[in-house]
Structure 1
């Protein structure tokens, strides 16, 4: 599970196998006892939320908006390596 970054007590990550065919760019966000998945495009949208409160979700969405380019860049780099058999 590639971790892109940690911020404000949350781990922002994706899984090395994201479906077949691969799902569009998204990010998983976890903390002990809670997790969420957010689609990045075409607009930022919550795919699911498990035990994160509205305050946490607002913070998470703000972080993802601020770091969306970084998330997408890391996603594309990781899966380009995986598609070339380098992972």
Structure 2
């Protein structure tokens, strides 16, 4: 599970057993988790995050989407 970015308390990473999905990134903090699709950045799923935190995370993903997407393609070889 390579970490592609750390921003504040958040760790953004990919999971190697999900190679057939469109580009995405997982975000964890403590025992909370979320998954964002990178094309037209949008929330795919989450557990434990409050709405205000999800908005903050989405902003982080949007601001770093190009670099995250590049890392995704490098990792999955697409």
TM-score (norm 1): 0.84
1:76 corresponds to 2:57: no
How many pairs were matched up? 78
Structure whose CA Rg is larger: 1
1:37 corresponds to 2:30: no
Q: Which runs of 4+ in 1 moved over 3 A?
A: none
Q: What's the C-alpha RMSD, in Å, of the aligned pairs? A: 1.2
Match of 2:43 among 34, 41, 46: 46
Unmatched runs of 5 consecutive residues or more in structure 2? none
Cα distance in 2 for residues equivalent to 1:49 and 1:15: 15
| Post-superposition offset of 1:17 | 1.8
Unmatched runs of 5 consecutive residues or more in structure 1? none
| Post-superposition offset of 1:72 | 0.5
Higher relative contact order (CA 8 A, sep 6+): 2
